[in-house]
Amino acid sequence: MLNGSNGDDTINGGAGNDTITAGAASAVPADDNLNALNGGAGLNIYNVTNSTDTITDPPVSALAVERDTVNLGGTSGTLTVGNNIEIINLLGFAAANLGVTLSREQPWPPPVRAMLEQ
């Protein structure tokens, strides 16, 4: 388990299954809380809330099966995910789309795009 704290964090996972938790935004005005979360090969879980987070998860071979998950909670912030994230869970207020912005390096697949446009 890898945990960030207030401030700008870069957290790198390694091979294997990692749980990576970004630090939440603090009350300090100069603290933009820009987090870079980088997973390795394996089933990774990323926990983010109320901050600006960029998540990258490297592709694995076509023979490997992995399901990387992002758990997004909170009511503000921006989440950018790489192409190798399979599951995004919107938790609590984030599920109500209150001030949360999602973006992706490539266009969202049609089923996800349709859900986001509702």
* Average pLDDT over every residue of 9-34: 76
CA distance 62 to 10: 28
Asked if residue 96 belongs to a domain, the reply is yes
| Residue 95: pLDDT over 70 | no
Asked if residue 68 belongs to a domain, the reply is yes
Asked if residue 109 belongs to a domain, the reply is no
Q: Which of these, 72, 74, 73, 32, lies nearest to 55 by C-alpha position? A: 72
Asked if residue 114 belongs to a domain, the reply is no
CA distance 2 to 42: 14
* Torsion angle of C-alpha atoms 25, 57, 21, 30, degrees rounded to 10: -20
- pTM value? 0.73
Asked if residue 116 belongs to a domain, the reply is no
Domain of 23 in residue numbering reads as 2-104
Mean confidence (pLDDT) of the chain = 75
pLDDT band at 109 (very low <50, low <70, confident <90, very high): low
pLDDT band at 107 (very low <50, low <70, confident <90, very high): low
Residue range 36-68, pLDDT digits in tens? 888 888 888 998 877 788 888 877 666 566 788
Asked if residue 81 belongs to a domain, the reply is yes
Asked if residue 115 belongs to a domain, the reply is no
Asked if residue 56 belongs to a domain, the reply is yes
| Residue 32: pLDDT over 60 | no
Looking at the structure of the chain, the number of domains it has is 1
